C-alpha cells in the first residue's frame, strides 16, 4: 500500500466516477491511501460517494461535477486540479448508446466520440505531461473486449474502445522511460448499473460470466506497471485468446455481432 501511494499519489483523478467501475476505482484508491478527485455529471451520486469515502477511509475527497463531453472540459478540470499533485489518472468512461449505427443521430455519435475519445485524449495529455515532469505516475484507460473487433449494435462504441486501447499501448512504451505507467484495462461484461439498466437478455451459455466491478478494479490495479494491456477475468482472457487465434477476422466480427443482436436487437434495432 505504501509503495503504491508513493508511486501514484498523493492525488488520483477518476473520470466517470459516480457509480459502477468509477466508484469502485475511487474506493479502491482511497483504500490505498490516495486522496481522490471523482469526476462525473451526477452531483447527487458524487456527493453520496464522496461522503462515504471520507468516512470510511479518512482521505481527502474533492468531487467535481463535469460534463465530460463539454467543449471546455479541460479548462474546467485544470482550474480545479492544477494546484494538486495528481499521480494517477483513471479514465473510466464508455458511453454506449445501443442500437444500429444509423438508428442513432449524428449528435448521438458526436457525444460518444467526445466522451469516449476526445476528453480522454485531453486528460491523458494534460496529466501525462505533469507526470513526466515528476518522473512518476500512472494512467489507466478503460477499454473493452468490444474494442478488439467491430461489433453490430455497438459499432461506434467498439471503435472508440479500440482507440482507447491502442493509444494506451503506445503510451505504455513512450512514457515508461520517464517512470510513468500506462495500462489499457479491457473489461468484458461487468455488473455495473449501466450494464444492468440496458436489460440484456440471457447471455449465451458459453459466454464468460459477468464480473463484479470490484474484481475488474483490483485486477487492473495489480496489472498497472507490469504490462500495457490487461484483459480482466480469467474466462474473458480464455475467450479472447480462442476468438482471435482460431477465428478469422470475419468470424470474430460475425460471432460478436450475433451475440449482441441476440441480447439487444428486439428493443434497440
Cα distance between residue 250 and residue 146, in whole Å? 15
Which listed residue (157, 163, 195, 264) is catalytic? 157
**Cα 268 from chain centre:** 24
Round to whole Å and give the CA distance between 66 and 150: 30
* Residue bearing cell 460471432: 255
CA distance 220 to 229: 9
Q: Output helix, strand, coil percentages for the chain, rounded to the nearest 5.
A: 55, 15, 30
Contact indicator for 92, 139 with CB cutoff of 8 Å: no
User: How far is the CA of 196 from the CAs of 28, 166, 192, 201, 267, in angstroms?
Assistant: 22, 28, 6, 10, 15
Residue written as grid cell 458526436: 110
Whole-angstrom distance, CA of residue 14 vs CA of residue 34: 12
Cα–Cα distance for residue pair 158/150, rounded to 1 Å: 6
Active site residue 178: no
**Alpha-carbon distance 160 to 156, whole Å?**
6
Task: Quote the strand ranges of 188-254, DSSP E.
Answer: 229-231
Q: Which residues are catalytic?
A: 157
Amino acid at each position: 500500500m505504501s509503495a503504491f501511494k508513493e508511486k501514484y499519489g498523493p492525488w488520483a483523478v477518476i473520470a466517470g466516477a459516480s457509480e459502477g467501475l468509477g466508484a469502485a476505482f475511487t474506493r479502491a484508491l482511497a483504500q490505498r491511501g490516495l486522496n481522490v478527485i471523482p469526476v462525473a455529471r451526477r452531483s447527487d451520486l458524487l456527493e453520496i460517494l464522496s461522503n462515504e469515502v471520507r468516512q470510511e477511509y479518512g482521505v481527502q475527497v474533492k468531487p467535481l461535477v463535469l460534463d465530460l463531453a463539454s467543449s471546455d472540459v479541460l479548462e474546467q478540470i485544470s482550474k480545479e486540479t492544477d494546484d494538486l499533485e495528481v499521480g494517477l489518472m483513471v479514465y473510466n468512461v464508455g458511453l454506449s448508446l445501443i442500437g444500429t449505427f444509423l438508428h442513432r443521430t449524428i449528435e448521438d455519435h458526436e457525444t460518444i466520440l467526445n466522451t469516449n475519445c476526445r476528453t480522454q485524449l485531453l486528460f491523458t495529455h494534460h496529466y501525462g505531461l505533469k507526470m513526466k515532469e515528476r518522473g512518476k505516475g500512472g494512467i489507466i484507460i478503460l477499454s473493452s473486449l468490444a474494442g478488439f473487433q467491430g461489433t453490430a449494435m455497438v459499432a461506434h462504441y467498439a471503435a472508440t474502445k479500440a482507440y482507447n486501447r491502442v493509444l494506451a499501448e503506445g503510451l505504455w512504451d513512450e512514457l515508461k522511460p520517464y517512470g510513468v505507467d500506462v495500462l489499457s484495462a479491457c473489461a468484458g461484461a461487468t455488473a455495473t448499473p449501466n450494464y444492468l439498466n440496458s436489460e440484456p437478455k440471457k447471455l449465451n451459455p458459453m459466454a464468460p460470466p459477468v464480473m463484479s466491478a470490484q474484481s475488474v478494479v483490483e485486477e487492473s490495479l495489480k496489472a498497472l506497471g507490469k504490462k500495457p494491456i490487461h484483459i480482466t477475468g480469467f474466462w474473458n482472457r480464455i475467450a479472447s485468446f480462442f476468438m482471435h487465434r482460431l477465428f478469422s477476422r470475419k468470424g470474430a466480427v460475425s460471432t460478436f455481432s450475433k451475440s449482441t443482436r441476440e441480447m439487444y436487437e428486439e428493443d434497440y434495432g
